[in-house]
Amino acid sequence: MTVGVGAWVVAAEEAIDGVRLDLDPGTLLILNVILGLIMFGVALDIDPHDVTAALREPLAPVLGIVLQLVALPLLTFLLSLVLPFAPSVLLGMILVSACPGGALSNVVAHLAGANVVLSIGMTTVSTLAATVMTPLNLAVWGRLNPRTNEVLRAVALDPMDVFLTILVVLGLPVAAGLLVRQRHPAFAARWVPRLKKVSASFLGLFILAALLANLDAFGVVLVPVVVAVVVHNLSALTLGYLGGGVFHVGQRERRAIAIEVGMQNTALALTLSVTFFEGLGGITLVAALWGLWHLVSGAALAWYWGRHAPAEPTASPPVSSRWRSWPR
């Protein structure tokens, strides 16, 4: 039995590393447009007053950012040392963990009865920090594991190239969104919910189309990658929730931190996997399946927590009026 499992793992590794997701320039442009739309929507939702309000009680915001930008990549590295998956799959997990929070996390936080102001603040900070933290975490943790380091060496990844790419694909849409919000706040307030839903739908459809188009190649290796993604995502959600509990933050804050740590910007991960790793099977599949799975886990949390109000009141600032109008 042990020999059979070992042989299956080796065969799966060879199959995964032999797969490539081929995107022509036009398809890659569509992916970058979707990512730009997502980040533009995030920037439209950045209200300096919300961020200032969240910082009035600094423990939860600081804890959340540390868990997301430092603890999650570290936890992922530790998982990569013990999980029996292909090196490209493990590096894909590290890449996802190095990305900032996902744009849809704020919607999930609202539906889950979490502290939405904290969620917005964490998304904002992690997005702004991504130009530095994403290439840094990818380079540091990816190189510390000898197996994933082989993949990085094979593609000769330059952290400066990653930095410049993120600066373009994140920095320009965020700058444009901040400018539009400053000059047209009414437009921003009206379009934020729509952009988040539309961009998430576009990303989901893009991932499904890419997987279906490459189903013959990906089909035989989907099971181990799905297992890796589910284990990784549940670990991230648990890290955020238990981390908040260790420091005794409020229940709404714990929910927000868990959602932010567990919902990553997989559009960025997918863009980086195609741009720098030439669609290498394990990395690309992890990024794509994370983008689908965290919508499932996020919806499940929103459904469960939305029906179980926090036991204790929160001392955090009230949620801005644009969230109160959303249906629960």
Q: Centre a 10 Å sphere on the Cβ of residue 313 and count the other Cβ atoms it contains.
A: 10
61 and 243 in contact (C-beta within 8 Å)? no
DSSP 3-state assignment of 78? helix
40: number of CA atoms within 13 Å, CB side? 18
d(CA 68, CA 257): 8
Q: What is the pLDDT of residues 285-299, one digit of tens each?
A: 888 888 888 888 888
pTM above 0.85, yes or no: no
- Measured between alpha carbons, how far is residue 203 from residues 33, 166, 199, 305 in Å? 10, 18, 6, 25
Q: What is the pLDDT of residues 124-181, one digit of tens each?
A: 888 888 888 888 999 899 999 998 888 887 766 667 777 777 777 777 877 888 788 8
Q: Which two tokens stand for residue 155?
A: 């593609």
300 and 255 in contact (C-beta within 8 Å)? no
Task: Give me the mean pLDDT over the 244-261 stretch.
Answer: 91
**């849409």: which residue's tokens?**
173
DSSP 3-state assignment of 39? helix
Q: At how many degrees (to 10) do helices 72-82 and 222-246 cross?
A: 140
273 and 279 in contact (C-beta within 8 Å)? yes
pLDDT band at 61 (very low <50, low <70, confident <90, very high): confident
285 and 92 in contact (C-beta within 8 Å)? yes
| Highest mean pLDDT of the ranges 85-89, 144-148, 163-167, 192-196 | 144-148
pLDDT band at 220 (very low <50, low <70, confident <90, very high): low
Ordered structural domains, the chain, with CATH: 23-309 (1.20.1530.20)
